[in-house]
Amino acid sequence: MNPALLANLIALVHFAWVAFLVLGLLAILLGIAFRWGWVRNRWFRLIHLGMIAIVVGEAMAGVPCPLTIWEHRLRVSAGQTTFEGDFIAYWVHRLIFFEAEPWVFTVVYVLFGLAVLGTWIVAPPRWRVQDAA
């Protein structure tokens, strides 16, 4: 398969990961306010928590995101020297990549992770059928 195409697919997966985390937290917070029962779904909440735990763990350990590394390597092998690529790749990168010191990202990821954990206290997921009542 074309390395540039694979790099674009990885960029889309990366964007989907970020979007799920951000929109998921927003949905949970709105769900708490508007009493939407589905935001207490245990699988949704476990997946959401697990995904941010991976991000926070990588940041705390100083490990670069594997998706970023794979995408970069594929772009280099495709002869691309920048992340501009095609239209979709360009906008995905514009939306999810910012210039800042690494510690800034670690702080943001940890704070975001703490916000996700906070929702588990304010509106814990439902574990049993009788919790739905």
Q: What share of the chain in percent tops pLDDT 90? A: 62
Model confidence at 67: pLDDT above 80: yes
Please spell the DSSP secondary structure of 72-120, one letter per residue: HHHHHHTT--SS--SHHHHHHHHHH-----HHHHHHHHHHHHHHHHHHH
Q: What is the mean predicted confidence (pLDDT) over 44-58? A: 97
- Distance from the Cα of residue 46 to its chain's centroid: 14
Model confidence at 133: pLDDT above 50: no
What's the chain's average pLDDT? Answer: 88
Q: Encoding tokens for residue 108?
A: 């943001």
Task: Tokens 């029962």: give the residue.
Answer: 37
Predicted TM-score (pTM) of the model is: 0.84
Model confidence at 131: pLDDT above 60: no
Model confidence at 72: pLDDT above 90: no
Q: Encoding tokens for residue 88?
A: 């979709």
